[in-house]
Structure 1
Amino acid sequence: MSITDTTSKTLKKLFFSSQRLIFAFLYQPPNPPYARTQKCHYVDVYMKWKKDSYYDSIEHIHRSVQLKPIVSLKNCIAEDPNGCIPISQVSKRGLELGAPMKVAGFLRQYPAIFEEFTGPQYNLPWFRLTPEAIEIDREEKRVFEEHRGDLKDRLKRLILMSKGKVLPLRIIQGMQWYLGLPEDFFRLSEVNLDGSFRFVEMEDGLKGLAVQGEEKLLSVVQRNARKRGVHLGEPVEPIAFPTFPSRGLRLRRKIEDWLKEFQKLPYVSPYEDFSYLDPNSDLAEKRVVGFLHELLSLFVEHSAERKKLLCLKKYFGLPQKVHKAFERHPHLFYLSLRNKTCTAILKEAYNDKSSIEKHPLLSVRKKYIRLMKESELILKNRRLRNKFVNHENLKLDLDLEAADKERRDREQITLGK
């Protein structure tokens, strides 16, 4: 019985494919890095979002967007030798400083921080800081000076998590507010104070910042696991992320099963090489989650606007849909939709405060927020007072009008007689 050409081709394909499989089996290195990667993936899952009032009510997170331009304008005034500036000095810098409206109107929204007065010439409005704001500004400068080493360590960790251990200055400056770095941190004399950093020219023509020397770093997850005695320092060691389910959040059984298997995977530190990982594997997913966990732990509020993190994909080896990692792990992160934006919050920082170190600048920002709330009360009282004055003026006008009418009526009666 003759074999047709089609059958012959099929047999040849099967023969050579089996040869490749045998060859791969014989020459496979022992215990390759991906040997413990899950064979079945369930990363493209839909997690139902559930509102959590606890995270939505954390004021220093949700007022951070408003506070940033306030601090920038405060610095403009504080740096002036006279401690006060005319509105013309900052009126055209609204976009640069992040003010959401005209600068003069924005300053007037916070009378507990900015005090307005008439200038010496041309009756222009001038602004200075209130005594309370001056005191907080002094405290802020003390924090920057006393915790300079801590702030540099946070910057160093951010750089060492990148692919080439170097980051463009524009990327670092985009994270500057979240890291709690002072606005003048990138002056040459300050950055190179102890030789920890060096400026480099990157391939794409951008100016970058690199870390001097090599250093073995442990992530927050690894340090906490070591405290609990479950981390032995092995290169590919399974470490589970601490989880904090929101009340009323129910996951489907197959999703829960996938998350349990996900927790058993080896933990890949964000400071280690990850080039060997299959980008479509759950092990790569665990590395991304570990990176986001470490990144948010470095920030002042342990949170950030999700859209602000998208610019990090290229330099940190993140997948195109990195934002999906927040949605797939609702026990680790919470996505708040307040203020018409999406803010990613690290749950562990607000449930186990001993596990993540508090940022030294947080207490200062809370004091500025207290002045923001006082400003709202001042403006409210002004509106009520103006309303009362207007009401009294209206009543007086009505009384005068009634008196005039009565007088005219008497005159008409007299003329009639």
Structure 2
Amino acid sequence: MLSFKKTPLRPLFLAIYTPKSHYVDVKMKWKKDPFYDSIQPIQKSNHLKSIISIKNDIQTHPNSCIPISAISKLKFQFDAPTKVCKFIRQYPSFFEEFRGEPNNLPWFRLTHEAIDLDREEWAVYRDRRPELAARLRRLILMSKEKKLPLSVIRGMGWYLGLPNDFIQNPDGDFEFVEMGDGVQGLRAVNSGEDVISVVQRNAVARMGCLAGPNSPIAFPLFPSKGLRLKRKIEVWLDEFQKLPYVSPYEDSSHLRADTDVSEKRAVGILHELLSLFVDHAAERRKLICLRKHLRLPQKFSEVFVRHPHIFYLSLKNKTCTVILKEAYSKDSAIEKHPILEVRKKYIELMDKSKTILRDRRSRKPAAEIEDLDSDGEMDSEGVEDFHRINL
């Protein structure tokens, strides 16, 4: 049973706006959306991450070749979903296997196509480094102290599209700092400048000017086909959209945690965060490390469930991935990430492995080859209502 307390809106400045209504406990149902579940850069992201990690490691060895003994026990380092050697053999379009010394054991090297894409990838890192640095800078500026631990930045590196050596050699916009207890971090230099979010930029495009501080900017909504909200929930959502918008780059320490205004700030932070990522999506569990640094609520993942017109939760690949819907709209104002096109080419090369393996199967007895085509989709039985999933 939903209960709503009507609260008159006051002039839209947080300095004089006092939210009287508490957090409204809205229950939403999860609905599967095949469109978002079929976005290849997202659904193949985990395997691609492991492939690129192995590729980069091979490139550091003499002659860009590596023996099976050197990688067979590095499953966790590469975040591989299975044994490294088995995983590598799933992608012959990337990795060429041959016999070498000592003892005529298996070795691996990159294929010519993988080498070409590697060069293209590093060209993007070199030529568009300022754009990559700007995305990291925006993430740091969203933090309450304008600095983040290096461990957190490394954890977000894949999503931000940063090269492996970026943290070791940051640009002049960053400096290393001590964050206590031996934790080293990265701080944004000259962090006092005004930064506007994607939501604010959209508002400027619509209205022709930037709205005043904490104006009631509404989030763009993208309902999934067949997803209908109860009338009371629609009323709540309409009132929610009229609440003041607090920029992710503003100080919010004065906000009470148990109000819808605080929730709208959390939606704004997560919207801005995902807009910075390569494919505007991330595994939900990987975002936990940002909670305290971005002043997110303890159960911030409930935001994804309560706002299905803004976020989509994909349950494929035995994980839960949150996707920013706006990024995949025809009218999206979100800028494409510089490295996205290269990753799409990597995925096309991944798909070629299926053809290679299929040809090999046709020339060998089926008993000699394992079936490597499983997509790892989570069993959907019992998840029709998403609130039943253990958040």
1:182 maps to 163
**Which residue, 108, 111, 116 being the options, matches 1:127?**
108
Q: Provide structure 2 residue ranges, at least 5 long, that are not aligned to the other structure.
A: 1-10, 369-391
Specify whether residues 353 and 104 from structure 1 end up closer, same or farther in structure 2 by C-alpha distance, changes over 3 A only.
farther
Provide the alpha-carbon RMSD of the alignment.
1.8
2:3 maps to none
Aligned pairs (5 A) from 1:248-267? 248-267=226-245
1:53 and 2:34 are equivalent in the alignment: yes
The alpha carbon displacement at 1:202 in A equals: 0.6
Secondary structure of 2:26's partner?
coil
1:99 maps to 80
- Greater shift after overlay, 147-156 or 113-122? 113-122
Aligned pairs (5 A) from 1:396-415? none
Distance in 2 between residues matched to 1:166 and 1:389, nearest whole Å: 55
Bigger radius of gyration among the two: 1
8 Å Cα contact 1:116/1:125 also seen in 2: yes
1:237 maps to 215
Distance in 2 between residues matched to 1:314 and 1:344, nearest whole Å: 19
- Greater shift after overlay, 149-158 or 376-385? 376-385
Specify whether residues 267 and 352 from structure 1 end up closer, same or farther in structure 2 by C-alpha distance, changes over 3 A only.
farther
The alpha carbon displacement at 1:354 in A equals: 4.1
The alpha carbon displacement at 1:388 in A equals: 8.1
Secondary structure of 2:313's partner?
strand
1:315 maps to 293
Distance in 1 between residues matched to 2:325 and 2:367, nearest whole Å: 49
The alpha carbon displacement at 1:225 in A equals: 0.9
- Greater shift after overlay, 30-39 or 314-323? 30-39
1:67 maps to 48
Whose helix proportion is higher, 1 or 2? 1
2:175 maps to 198
1:139 maps to 120
The alpha carbon displacement at 1:227 in A equals: 1.5
State the TM-score, normalized to the length of structure 2. Answer: 0.88
Distance in 2 between residues matched to 1:312 and 1:145, nearest whole Å: 28
8 Å Cα contact 2:13/2:214 also seen in 1: no
1:414 maps to none
2:359 maps to 381
* Deviation string, structure 1 residues 262-305 (Cα, Å, up to 9, x no partner): 10111100000001111111111110000000000000010000
Aligned length in residues: 357
Question: Higher relative contact order by CA 8 Å / sep ≥ 6: 1 or 2?
Answer: 2
8 Å Cα contact 2:198/2:334 also seen in 1: yes
Distance in 1 between residues matched to 2:117 and 2:62, nearest whole Å: 18
State the TM-score, normalized to the length of structure 1. Answer: 0.82
1:115 maps to 96
Distance in 1 between residues matched to 2:12 and 2:94, nearest whole Å: 62
Distance in 2 between residues matched to 1:378 and 1:31, nearest whole Å: 61
